């Protein structure tokens, strides 16, 4: 939910910064203001802003003074973080405001009672980024993690203060169908009010629908209408519309919010994914939010480059591996017609490096852990539920789901997704292949394969035939479920060449991707291929990585490797609509 009407005060810029490895800050009352000569920029992770902070994965404090005008005196005010973490605590003018766990979802605190209007206000943020096995995703040390990406810390997405009327919209859920059916549910924090609903084209030139609900008295209002003359949303024509909801009390406008929506149907049936009743093929990538210096912040211009590169190469889809991406990231997916598989930060690829089998079973059976997972899923869906681009949820990445307790955990969270959002299908990215006990818990089977890299290294064709045997066995077991390959690829260091193709060379990566795609695009139960990865990204230090994970077909600064050309050639042979 967004608003043009509410005022925003951006907190982007330079903040005072102080490391607190010994956790002294709270005892020494740093929340009232602290001494430091260090400066940091927000938004961006702290690590690459100063080489001395690069390997720092503990507690750090941020401070910024902001002037709030007198005229906002009787307004509701929130401080909103689009993403910070891992564990964030906030104080304003020395008063504690609240805390939040998790780096990749939006969170907010009401700060109305703590602000001084017509004066400066001191905002203090404490971020604790210590690795922990109970974190989502789990980690033991900076370089010993259950996930294969760098454990960046800090305020890595925008932060701002938003000011609204006391009477305001709390939440807005919109469901659409390709035939123009529109259903909305608004939660309004107000006693008696009128609602005005408007639907406009994306450019805001034409009013398509205007309606009113008079004298609403309950907090929840539901509305349904069939709209004529709307064009459906799909990757070839990503037609967007703007739905605006205005709240009036005694004919006076008190709040106005909007969403960018698309009219489309997604169904999973008969071994296929259908978009607007037509079977589709997802061709694209696993991605990351990762860029030099910025860390986990994706600057708008970088996103634009990424999307045009993906378009140029013929991709139509990506997965938000391995955490929900920023609003800006998914706004572009809505706008440019990308089919998104949205994934929460439940990533367990290397969990056996930090926990043994018994410990894993215990963690995944722990009710508190399940509740924590549900809470982040809830936040993610609330934030992105109205996006046409999000067609399916990947409930987790590479869980050790050959362990029964883990399979049971997946069953429970997959069910929870359906409770929160019955309009979208579920999948999860499995690396346990034929030994996975949870494949039946979701609508689409997603498989990650590295035969030819982590196994059968140096022998691509042997790897590909083993992979194919396993996929065919899975297809036999689940003949009605569509299968997607959500990861395959090989590391290549830009400029490293080898004839014959040897591991780490651009040629080896090119041959591996070509073999996988050519083999898999011919099977009619395969509904999608996502190459791992769109671009090189930073990972933990280990003997397996040369600073970066180099499986990108683009470098970290978005220049093509040899395989980029091949992917373009291959993806041009696969149609979006089958
Ligand atoms: C995987 C993980 C991904 C890794 C990738 C790799 O299976 O899902 O996070 O980066 O393999 O390159 O090892």
Q: Tens digit of pLDDT for each residue in 423-482?
A: 999 999 999 999 999 999 999 999 999 999 999 999 999 999 999 999 999 999 999 999
Alpha carbon 113 to its chain centroid, in Å, reads 32
pLDDT for 80:
98
Which of the four pLDDT bands, split at 50, 70 and 90, describes residue 149? very high
The domains of the chain, with CATH numbers, are 7-164 (2.60.120.260), 178-261 (2.60.40.10), 280-347+383-571 (3.20.20.80)
- For β-strands 272-275 and 266-269, DSSP reports them as antiparallel
CA separation (Å) from 372 to 82, 103, 223, 366, 393? Answer: 19, 13, 32, 10, 18
The number of the ligand 1 atom at minimal distance from the alpha carbon of 537 is 10
Ligand 1 center to residue 448 CA distance, Å? 8
Question: 136 is written with which tokens?
Answer: 């989502």
The number of the ligand 1 atom at minimal distance from the alpha carbon of 544 is 13
The helix (run of H) or strand (run of E) holding residue 409 is: helix 404-420
The pick from 349, 352, 550 for probing ligand 1's pocket by mutation, whose C-beta has the most ligand atoms within 8 angstroms, reads 349
Alpha carbon 482 to its chain centroid, in Å, reads 23
Ligand 1 center to residue 89 CA distance, Å? 31
Q: Does residue 554 surpass a pLDDT of 90?
A: yes
Please state at what angle helix 300-312 crosses helix 327-336, rounded to 10 degrees: 30
Q: Does residue 487 surpass a pLDDT of 90?
A: yes
Q: In 190-316, at which residue ranges do the beta strands (DSSP E only) sit?
A: 193-201, 207-216, 220-226, 241-249, 252-261, 266-269, 272-275, 278-279, 282-286
pLDDT for 522:
83
Distance CA 472, CA 464 (A): 12
The pick from 345, 399, 448 for probing ligand 1's pocket by mutation, whose C-beta has the most ligand atoms within 8 angstroms, reads 448
pLDDT digits (tens, 9 = 90+) for 211-266: 999 999 999 999 999 999 899 999 999 999 999 999 999 999 999 999 999 999 99
Mean pLDDT of 327-340: 98
pLDDT for 528:
98
Give the three-class secondary structure for 500.
coil
Distance CA 446, CA 485 (A): 6
The number of the ligand 1 atom at minimal distance from the alpha carbon of 398 is 8
- Atom 13, ligand 1: which residue's CA is nearest? 148
Ligand 1 center to residue 349 CA distance, Å? 7
Ligand 1 center to residue 130 CA distance, Å? 22
Mean pLDDT of 499-509: 98
Ligand 1 center to residue 353 CA distance, Å? 14
Average pLDDT value over all residues in the chain: 97
Give the three-class secondary structure for 512.
helix
The number of the ligand 1 atom at minimal distance from the alpha carbon of 489 is 12
Distance CA 339, CA 322 (A): 16
**DSSP string for 456-496:** STT-HHHHHHHHHHHHHHHHHHSTTS-EEEEE----B-TT-
Distance CA 383, CA 550 (A): 31
**Any idea which residues carry the catalytic annotation?**
398, 487
- Atom 3, ligand 1: which residue's CA is nearest? 148
Question: 489 is written with which tokens?
Answer: 């690829």
The secondary structure of residue 536, as a DSSP letter, is -
The pick from 400, 487, 545 for probing ligand 1's pocket by mutation, whose C-beta has the most ligand atoms within 8 angstroms, reads 487
Helix-strand-coil percent breakdown of the chain, rounded to 5? 25, 35, 40
Ligand 1 center to residue 188 CA distance, Å? 43
The number of the ligand 1 atom at minimal distance from the alpha carbon of 448 is 7
Among 134, 142, 20, 160, residue whose Cα is nearest residue 81: 160
Question: 418 is written with which tokens?
Answer: 């359906």
- Atom 5, ligand 1: which residue's CA is nearest? 148
The pick from 347, 398, 513 for probing ligand 1's pocket by mutation, whose C-beta has the most ligand atoms within 8 angstroms, reads 398
The number of the ligand 1 atom at minimal distance from the alpha carbon of 431 is 7
Is the separation of the CB atoms in 344 and 373 below 8 Å?
A: yes
Which residues lie with the beta carbon below 6 Å from any ligand 1 atom?
148, 322, 349, 397-398, 431, 448, 487, 532, 549, 551
- Atom 6, ligand 1: which residue's CA is nearest? 148
Give the pTM: 0.98
Q: Does residue 89 surpass a pLDDT of 90?
A: yes
Ligand 1 center to residue 391 CA distance, Å? 23
Mean pLDDT of 144-169: 97
Ligand 1 center to residue 168 CA distance, Å? 43
**Backbone φ, ψ for residue 390 (5° rounding):** -80, 110
Distance CA 288, CA 266 (A): 25
Residues 6+ apart with CB under 8 A from 303: 328, 329, 332
Quote the ipTM score.
0.99
Is the separation of the CB atoms in 395 and 424 below 8 Å?
A: no
- For β-strands 317-319 and 339-342, DSSP reports them as parallel
Residues paired with 120 in a beta bridge: 67
Q: In 13-151, at which residue ranges do the beta strands (DSSP E only) sit?
A: 13-19, 38-42, 59-68, 76-81, 87-92, 95-101, 107-110, 119-128, 139-141, 144-145
Distance CA 395, CA 409 (A): 11
Length of the chain: 578
- Atom 10, ligand 1: which residue's CA is nearest? 148
Q: Does residue 381 surpass a pLDDT of 90?
A: yes
């Amino acid at each position: 939910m967004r608003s043009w009407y509410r005022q925003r005060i951006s907190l982007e810029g330079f903040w005072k910064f102080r490391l607190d490895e010994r956790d002294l800050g709270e005892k020494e009352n740093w929340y009232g203001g602290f001494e430091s000569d260090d400066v940091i920029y927000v938004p961006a992770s702290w690590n690459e802003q100063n080489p001395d902070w690069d390997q720092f994965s503990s507690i750090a404090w941020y401070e910024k003074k902001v002037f709030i005008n007198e005229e906002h005196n009787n307004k509701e005010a929130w401080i909103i973080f689009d993403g910070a973490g891992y564990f964030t605590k906030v104080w304003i003018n020395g008063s504690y405001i609240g805390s939040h766990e998790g780096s990749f979802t939006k969170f907010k605190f009401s700060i109305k009672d703590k602000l001084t209007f017509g004066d400066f206000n001191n905002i203090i943020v404490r971020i604790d980024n210590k690795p922990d096995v109970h974190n989502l995703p789990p980690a033991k040390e900076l370089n010993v993690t259950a996930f294969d990406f760098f454990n960046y810390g800090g305020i890595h997405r925008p932060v701002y203060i938003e000011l609204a009327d006391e009477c305001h919209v709390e939440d807005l859920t919109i469901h659409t169908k390709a035939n123009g059916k529109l259903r909305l549910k608004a939660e309004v924090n107000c006693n008696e009010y009128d609602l005005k609903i408007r639907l406009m084209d994306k450019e805001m030139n034409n009013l398509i629908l205007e309606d009113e609900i008079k004298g609403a008295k309950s907090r929840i209002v539901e509305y349904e209408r069939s709209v004529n003359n709307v064009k459906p949303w799909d990757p070839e024509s990503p037609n967007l519309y703007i739905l605006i909801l205005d709240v009036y009390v005694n004919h006076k406008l008190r709040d106005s919010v909007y969403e960018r929506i698309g009219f489309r149907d997604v169904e999973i049936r008969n071994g296929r994914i259908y978009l607007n009743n037509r079977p589709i093929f997802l061709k694209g990538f696993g991605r990351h939010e990762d860029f030099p210096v910025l860390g986990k912040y994706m600057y708008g211009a970088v996103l634009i480059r990424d999307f045009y590169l993906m378009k140029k190469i013929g991709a139509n889809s990506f997965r938000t591996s391995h955490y929900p991406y920023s609003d800006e990231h998914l706004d572009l997916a809505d706008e440019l017609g990308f089919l998104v598989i949205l994934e929460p930060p439940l990533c367990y690829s290397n969990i056996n490096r930090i926990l043994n089998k018994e410990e894993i079973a215990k963690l995944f059976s722990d009710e508190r852990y399940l509740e924590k997972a549900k809470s982040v899923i809830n936040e993610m869906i609330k934030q992105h539920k109205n996006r046409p681009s999000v067609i399916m949820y990947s409930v987790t990445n590479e869980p050790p789901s050959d362990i029964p307790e883990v399979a049971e955990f997946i069953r429970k969270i997959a069910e929870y997704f359906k409770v929160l959002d019955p309009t979208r299908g579920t999948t999860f990215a499995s690396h346990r292949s034929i030994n996975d006990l949870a494949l039946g818990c979701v609508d689409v089977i997603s498989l990650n394969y590295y035969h030819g890299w982590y196994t059968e290294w140096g022998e691509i064709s042997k790897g590909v035939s083993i992979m194919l045997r396993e996929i065919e066995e899975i297809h036999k077991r689940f003949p009605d479920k569509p299968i997607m390959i959500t990861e395959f690829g090989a590391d290549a260091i830009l400029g490293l060449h080898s004839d014959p193709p040897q591991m780490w060379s651009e040629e080896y990566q090119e041959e591996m991707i070509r073999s996988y795609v050519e083999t898999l695009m011919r099977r009619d139960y395969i509904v999608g291929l996502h190459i791992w990865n769109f671009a090189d990204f930073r990972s933990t230090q280990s003997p397996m990585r040369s600073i970066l994970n180099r499986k990108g077909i683009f470098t970290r600064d978005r220049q093509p490797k040899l395989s980029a050309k091949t992917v373009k050639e291959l993806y041009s042979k696969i149609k979006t609509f089958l």
